Structure 1
Amino acid sequence: MDNRVLLLLTLCTCMALAQNMAVSQRCTCRRVREKFVAPKQIMDIQILPPSHSCDKLEIVVSLKNGLQYCLNPKAENMQKIFRSIVEMKKKMTPAPRPSTTTSSSASDE
């Protein structure tokens, strides 16, 4: 009888630990949307890179009315936005200037 109680207690402990591990391994986004809303309605955009708790790139959009939803980073419209951001960043980054050092030779006459 004591072995059965010990076995049941061990089983319950293992199940509790497994559930706790499953909860900590979840992504923020359970469902994603393909549609993008008007930029005027957006209050904040969070880009969550892959991590130990979720191996996916996640994009969370917060609207001014308090709603939040996730966008599909693999959707065609999101890929276009990513490309335009990269291009804009390239244009904003100044090109390195060649160093111009002037060597003046002082001659005493």
Structure 2
Amino acid sequence: MTMTIRILLLLAVTVCIAAAQRLVSQRCLCRKVRDKNFGGIKSVEDVQIFPPSQSCTRLEIIVSLKNGVQYCLDPKMKIVQNLLTRLMYKPAPPTVPSPTEVP
């Protein structure tokens, strides 16, 4: 083999290894999303939102219901968008002032 062929072969192997490592690093929490109604906003206990990152390029929304069930939701669903809007504009709970020390 000539030196040029060896260099091209080494370059091709390097590119294949880099591409394979990139595909393996996709570690999303949600393997599939629920695209149907999940029980309504009143049944939601907790919502976790994971923005796209180096480990997963998708926006992931995981909802925990009051009965303990968790679902991954499709962020494109209208009901999910309504849920997120409601949560973002939900008024903060009133804070109770701490008692002041009296001498």
TM-score category (smaller protein): 0.5 to 0.7
* Aligned twin of 2:100: none
* Aligned twin of 1:97: none
CA distance change for structure 1 residues 82 and 52 in 2, over 3 Å: closer, same or farther? same
1:76 matched to 2:78? The reply is yes
* Aligned twin of 2:53: 51
* Aligned twin of 1:33: 34
Scaled by the length of structure 2, the TM-score of the pair is 0.55
Q: What is the rounded CA distance, in whole Å, between the counterparts of 2:64 and 2:12 in structure 1?
A: 42
Contiguous gaps of at least 5 residues in structure 1: 95-109
1:12 matched to 2:13? The reply is yes
- The RMSD of aligned alpha carbons is 3.5
Q: What is the rounded CA distance, in whole Å, between the counterparts of 2:54 and 2:35 in structure 1?
A: 25
Scaled by the length of structure 1, the TM-score of the pair is 0.53
CA distance change for structure 1 residues 93 and 86 in 2, over 3 Å: closer, same or farther? farther
TM-aligned CA deviation for residue 53 of structure 1 = 4.2
Q: More helix by proportion, 1 or 2? A: 1
TM-aligned CA deviation for residue 37 of structure 1 = 4.8
Alignment-mate amino acid for residue 33 of structure 2: V
Contiguous gaps of at least 5 residues in structure 2: 96-103
Q: What is the rounded CA distance, in whole Å, between the counterparts of 1:16 and 1:58 in structure 2?
A: 28
